[in-house]
Chain A
Amino acid sequence: MERSDLLDLLREDARTSTADLARMLDTDEATVQAELDALEADGAVRGYRAVLDPDRVEDERVEAVVELDVTLDRETGYEDIARRLVQFDEIRGLRLVSGDYDFAVDVEADSMRAVSRFVSDQVAPVPEVTKTVTHFVMQTYKEAGIAFEDGDDDDRLSVTP
């Protein structure tokens, strides 16, 4: 069994049972379980999450993408800033990116007010942060490779040659 094949399957559907993973990878459950344990222990697999369509879950959370500009000095690097930012539960994603700003931050909270307050009270005051631009997410069409479209549109005939 190739590790990359197992990862492909997990990326597609992390809820696949170890029994089914073993069947698809032509191996036994114990081998798959050992590899899963190793992937988790190595930190190669950091977690498993459901991909939710915000339009269809009850307690609708507000998401925003926040652009962060920072200044560095001799004592402070990106890592140091990141280490502090990841501590906030409201920050769901944090990436250093190329281009016009430094960090792309995914923020999630109960309301637009809560997101705004979080950014102005918790993020903006961080000494190295020089500028924030907040983009509220209005609609999600695709996430984690899954397009949010309407159900099953298999229009094939049920039996064909």
Chain B
Amino acid sequence: MSEFHVSERVGSVPPSGIRKFFELAEERDDVVSLGVGEPDFSAPWRAREAAIGALERGRTSYTANRGTRELREEVARYVQRFDLTYDADDEILVTAGASEAIDLAFRALCDPGDGVAVVQPSYVSYVPGVTFAGAEPIPVPTRAEDGFELTPEVLRASGAADAEMLVLCYPNNPTGATMDRAGLEAVAEFVRDHDLTVLSDEIYAELTYEGEHTSIAALPGMRERTVVLNGFSKAYAMTGLRLGYALGPADAVGAMNRVHQYTMLSAPTTAQHAALTALRECDDEVRSMCAQYDRRRRFVLARFREMGIDCPEATGAFYLFPESPDPDAGAFAEALLDAEGVAMVPGDAFGAGGAGHLRVSYATGMDDLRTAMNRLERFLDER
């Protein structure tokens, strides 16, 4: 033991539930993992080449706090495809991954004690982020029978009306759920009625398999109360380059930049060069990756159906969130890993509403998916 005392805020946040499962999976070397939350593709070659080129030209300094002007302008152009209009001057902030933007948003836009309604099951960073900022997370559990879409009913039932901010993520990690305009409009109405602000994590926007992605910020009366997060990790398979961005009204993004300029200075410069090229030249690669995810999605859904596993027809991201054949999803996942070397993450790692489910990532090649499904079938047969 050292002389240090761990702060109460940090001490109160348990280690990620995913971590424990990671350690179990790491103990074996024959694991076929459906537990990976990042693309199995590499970043498009043109983007990688742009990064190499930037290094060759010696572009290794800091950039402007908010990110290079060129990149912000390109982001502004890019997000128009989602009917979003933001000013590159003061409404866009380039960050070290969407992860940094999540942290900045809570620290810059919440006061201690503020209620922050977090739609769950959800990506694991929101609740800790809220806690680190001293605010109070209010879980909003969505339901399997709604296809894990958010409804005014669950918002009401969970006490979200008393919150200051609502955090949502569609297409969703871990459920793969998406929300269409009508569904979002109902949420937007609740948000306006109760004068909430919204943090909308849309990092999986490109990975929408049916219809088009709708941003809640594009709905009437929502732009002024929404910060949208996006990034390059998922659509462009650039997780390791650590680049994301936040879009929002100038005062909100300005406040986030205040924290960012002191804690990060600027997002990784090499990655900013790669991202610029990604936005300008890599639409075809994104489309091709998206088409492959979609096929895998349908393959796994069909296999689940054949095995009698209940699974909502998730239409986004690269996750499915089936019901666990054993109500104790943790026990099931461990037994499956033990017997067949197939890793799926127990749903309770993603908060309220996740229990009894498994997160199945299809960001894995077809051969592995086939193997995993065959092993799962054998495991179920022998159970």
Chain A residues within CB distance 8 Å of chain B: 8-9, 13, 16, 20, 22-26, 154, 156-161
Q: Is B31 located at the chain interface by the 8 A CB criterion?
A: yes
Q: Are the CB atoms of A23 and B25 closer together than 8 Å? A: no
Q: Are the CB atoms of A156 and B298 closer together than 8 Å? A: no
- Chain A residues within 8 Å of B186, by CB: none
Q: Is B118 located at the chain interface by the 8 A CB criterion?
A: no
Q: Are the CB atoms of B38 and A20 closer together than 8 Å? A: no
- Chain A residues within 8 Å of B249, by CB: none
Q: Are the CB atoms of B36 and A157 closer together than 8 Å? A: yes
Chain B residues within CB distance 8 Å of chain A: 16, 18, 21-22, 25-26, 31, 33, 35-38, 40, 123-125, 173, 291, 295-296, 298-299, 302-303, 343, 345, 366, 370
- Chain A residues within 8 Å of B21, by CB: 159
* Known contacts A20-B299, A23-B302, A24-B298: A158-B38 contact under CB 8 Å: no
* Known contacts A26-B298, A26-B302: A158-B37 contact under CB 8 Å: no
B295 in complex: contacting residue of A9, A154, A156, A161, CB < 8 Å: A9
Residue of A nearest to B16 (CB): A161
CA distance A24 to B295 in the complex (A): 5
B36 in complex: contacting residue of A8, A25, A159, CB < 8 Å: A159
Q: Are the CB atoms of A158 and B343 closer together than 8 Å? A: yes
CB distance from A20 to the nearest CB of B (A): 6
CB distance from B123 to the nearest CB of A (A): 6
- Chain A residues within 8 Å of B345, by CB: 159
- Chain B residues within 8 Å of A22, by CB: 302
- Chain A residues within 8 Å of B22, by CB: 157-160
- Chain A residues within 8 Å of B295, by CB: 9, 24-25
CB distance from B134 to the nearest CB of A (A): 23
CB distance from B19 to the nearest CB of A (A): 8
Residue of B nearest to A160 (CB): B37
CA distance A154 to B240 in the complex (A): 13
- Chain B residues within 8 Å of A9, by CB: 295
Q: Are the CB atoms of B123 and A161 closer together than 8 Å? A: yes
A161 in complex: contacting residue of B37, B296, B303, B343, CB < 8 Å: B37
Q: Sample 10 A-B pairs with CB under 8 A, ordered by A number.
A: A8-B291, A20-B370, A22-B302, A158-B22, A158-B26, A158-B36, A159-B21, A159-B22, A160-B22, A160-B38
- Chain B residues within 8 Å of A26, by CB: 298, 302
Q: Are the CB atoms of A23 and B35 closer together than 8 Å? A: no
- Chain A residues within 8 Å of B36, by CB: 156-160
Q: Are the CB atoms of A158 and B370 closer together than 8 Å? A: no
